[in-house]
Each structure stands twice: as C-alpha cells, then as structure tokens.
Amino acid sequence: MPDRMNFSWHTRLLLALSSGAALALSFPNFNLPLLAWISIGLLVLASFRARLAVAPLYGLLHALVFYPLCLPWIDVVVQQFGGVGPWTSAGLVALIAVAGGVICAVFSWSVALASRRGAWIAFALAPCLWVAVEFLRAHLPIIAFPWNLAGYAASGNLPLVQLTTVTGIYGLSFLVAAYGSLVGYALLCGRQRAWKSVLALTAVLIFVAVGGRYLVPSDTPRFTAHLVQTDFAQAYDYPADWIQVHARDLDELAQISVDAARRIPGLIVWPESPAPFSLQDPAFAARARQIAQVSGSDFLVGAEDWKRDRAGKLVATNSAVLLNPSGERIFTYDKIHLVPFGEYVPLRRWLGFTGKLTADLGDFAPGSVYAVGALPEGRFGSFICYEAVFPDAVRRFTAGGAELLINISNDGWFGRSAAPAQHLMMARVRAVENRRWLLRDTNNGYTVSVDPYGRIAAQLSTDIRGELDAPYDFRTDQTLYVRMGDWFPWLCVLVSILGVATTAAKPGWQKNLWDAGDSSSGTASGPDG
C-alpha cells in the first residue's frame, strides 16, 4: 500500500487534469455520463497525501479544465450579445473557472489534510466534502453558479433520479462522488476486499438503474396546456418600432395560440420575453388581451414589467404575467435570481474592464416573492429561465402551495450549443425533486412537458415556430425534499467541518503541515509525495 500512495508530482497533475476532463465529458453535448462516476475519485487520488501547500493546485487544475470544456458557450454568448472582444470574453470564462477552482481547491486541500489520518478516512470523507463544495457553489453571493453539478450526470437514469425527492440533486452528487471515491480507494490499496466492495456496489447500481425503471410509477394527466414556441432570432438590441415591424409574426403567433385553445381548451403559455414584450406597451397589451379573450383561455406570458420601487424609481423586472379569459391581469411573478452579466451587471462601478458589456447591458430589478398563481383547476409556480438551476428556489414554490410548475425560458441566447440541453437536464430534476408536472416553454427549444418522475411526456422540435399540446396535472403531495429543504447538503457540510477539524486537531499534525507526506508511513516522495 505505501508504494501505491507514492505518487509523483506529474502523476498528480495528470490525475487532476483527467478528473476535470472526465466530469466535463459527462454532460451534453459530449454525453458520456459514465465518466462522472470515476471523475471525482481521480481528484481524490491526486490530492491524497499531497503536500498541503500544493494540494489546492489540484482542485484548481480540475476546474480550469472542467469549466472551459463544458461551458464554452459562455464565451460565444458574451462576444455575440455583450459586444466585447474575444480577450474580454475569454477573461470572463477564465474568471468563472478560477472562482470554481478556488472552491475545488478547498476540496483537494481538505482531502490532503484528512488523508494524514488514514486512507479510509480521506476516501470516506471525500463524498461529503464534494457535496459541501457544490453547495457552496450554489450559495456564493453574486456569482452563485450551480450549473452542471456532478449529480446531473446521473440524472438521466429514471430510477436513480428518484433519490432527489429525499435529498435534492445533492444526493445524486454524493452517490457519484462516493462511487468514484471507493474505486480510488481500491486502486490505491489494491486489497481484494476493496475490489469486492466496488464490484458489489457496481452490481447494485446496475440492478437499480436497469431493473428499477419498471418500478417507477407513471402519472396520468387530465389537462392539456398549449406551449407556444415563438422562435424569434436573438438580437443584441431592439429598435423602438420592433412590435410594428414584427406585426405579421405576432399575428401568426396569436393565431397559433387561439387555434390550439379552440381545438383543445386549455392554458396558453408564451416563453420568457424574447423581445421587447411589455404590458405597459399599449400595442402589445392589446394583443395579449385579445389572445386571452378570443381563445377564452388563461394566458401566461413572459414580459418586461415596469413598476416603481420603494424609492419611487421606475424599474424593470423580468416577469411572468397571467391574464384570465377576460384579458384581466390576475397574477405576476418577478424573477428573483437574475443572471449576472446578462440581466444585471454586479459591481458595475468596479468592472469597467468589461467595456461594452457594462456600458450596454441594462439592469433588471430582482423580485423578492416566490409568488404562486391560481388557475381554475389548481395552483402553479412559474420560475424563469436561469432559476431552473437553483433547487431550493424552485422548492419554495411547491412549499408555498404550487401544484404545478411552469418554467418559461429564452434559450435563444445559447444558439445550438450544449447550453440548452444542459439547461433542460437540470430543469427535469426540479420536476422530480418536487414531484410535480413541469411545463417548460422556450423561445426556440427545448419546449417540453415533464412528468413528476422525470419522463419527457411531450416535446416540440427545436428552432421552429409552433405549439406543443403539453399534458399536465396538479399534485398536492409533498416530497421530503420539499418539506425539509437542503437538509442533506447541510449534513454533508457539518460532517465535512467535523472531519477536517478532527484531522486538524490530531496531535503533532502542525509539525508535518508543509511536509511532503506522513513520514511515519514512508510515503514521502519529492515535492508531492
């Protein structure tokens, strides 16, 4: 066992870089999810018994590969719609990678520290540490970015994703990290018992993943909604006469909406505003009222909504607005989680280096209430675009009484990059966590209906203008995750703190803090033994 612990520094670098690549390749558009199950184990191996002064480097390297490889669309979006040059956009991607790297560095340093008390302690603690750092990613001020958490790589499996009704997505992340950690431990120690544990866990996972899908129940919907995909080309800015110029397009969308509701009576939904739609604009307001009145249906539409804040200043919000069949506005939800550098520029005063991005992007004001609306058959919560990646935010709608979830989004910003598929992957998990039907309406795809167990019940083709007859229903039951929230990641945070603190309290640990390894185990090997 000591010989296997004796990694050279270049082996550790290779392990760290490979872990970032393996995790990135697990997500769309690479779609190699099995790689996620070993990715975190590779990072644990890179960090095991590393010098504490160098161990954070391995977490940083993991992130410097992971983020640019699975999020290249950020660079394209910022260049195309932020009006900035390639160096500035690349700098923003690098900033995201470095910020994520700092968090991963905490993970690798903690594993290195825990490994000084024994191999099994480090590898047993690693899954809790991983969930803790993912939870931190989701709750950073301003730059919280819980995109592509490790658990999403396993979420495509119908039986496994049901775990999220208890733990949220973090339970799947724990499972993925625990499997990789066990494989890493078996590779490190080479003991037959460890490999038997790996084989046993693998067999259980395969049995659940394959056989369990026959045990996942189905949900028979009673209602049909009409999700209208507007398919407007994404633009950098919009002229003042945009509504007039696109009158024919709006006429077509109105006809599509009315015809669908007359054929099958039901709710009409338009996506997050892909254009300057505002009910304060008399021309658009008249169109919206007419759609509701002529169709005789409730009409939920994404719009820019203007109102005065507490100081009396006129501000814009990114909102979902419901009109009843009489054309009266009866519900509004204002988006709470705005996209940094997309819907507002944080720390604008200090970020002059972003040039045209900060000069030309307007700011939305965030909402503050997880409002729940009412339809004749039941209550719904409508979250907007980027909010789909925040598990606790969506959970608040269900906890507040929502019996149906509606996600309106404009993924036109992303083109046909990996981002729309990644966004859908995360939104589907929200349906399972909350055990609710999810209606997801987008500007150009993916427009879908997802059942409470994560199946896509209906889907519209991408990049077309059209309408999806989307089945749905209302449910009143509450999952453990809805009732208790993020209890599982908080438990992992607690275990991680106690584990690291216990290791740090080991008598004499300070003496070896910056040494190559635990000299008593004979593992020192150059700068990173």
- Judge whether 128 counts as a catalytic residue: no
Which residue in 385, 387, 433, 467 is the catalytic one? 385
Residues 6+ apart with CB under 8 A from 297: 226, 261, 265, 266, 267, 268, 325
**Distance in angstroms (rounded) separating the CA atoms of residues 437 and 458:** 12
CA dihedral over 158, 163, 168, 172, signed as positive or negative: negative
R_g of the chain computed on alpha carbons: 25
> Hey, what amino acid is at 266?
G
Q: Tokens for 297, please give them.
A: 């249906």
Which residue in 272, 387, 403, 433 is the catalytic one? 272
Helix/strand/coil (H, E, C) string of 205-270?
Answer: HHHHHHHHHHCCCCCCCCEEEEEEECCCCCCCCCCCCHHHHCHHHHHHHHHHHHHHHHHCCCCEEC
- Judge whether 335 counts as a catalytic residue: yes
The full length of the chain comes to: 529
Question: What 3-state class would DSSP assign to 106?
Answer: helix
User: Which class for 152: exposed (0-12), middle (13-18), buried (19 or more C-beta within 10 A)?
Assistant: buried
> Hey, what amino acid is at 258?
V
Which residue in 304, 335, 343, 403 is the catalytic one? 335
- Judge whether 272 counts as a catalytic residue: yes
CA dihedral over 278, 327, 325, 290, signed as positive or negative: negative
Q: Which residues are catalytic?
A: 272, 335, 385
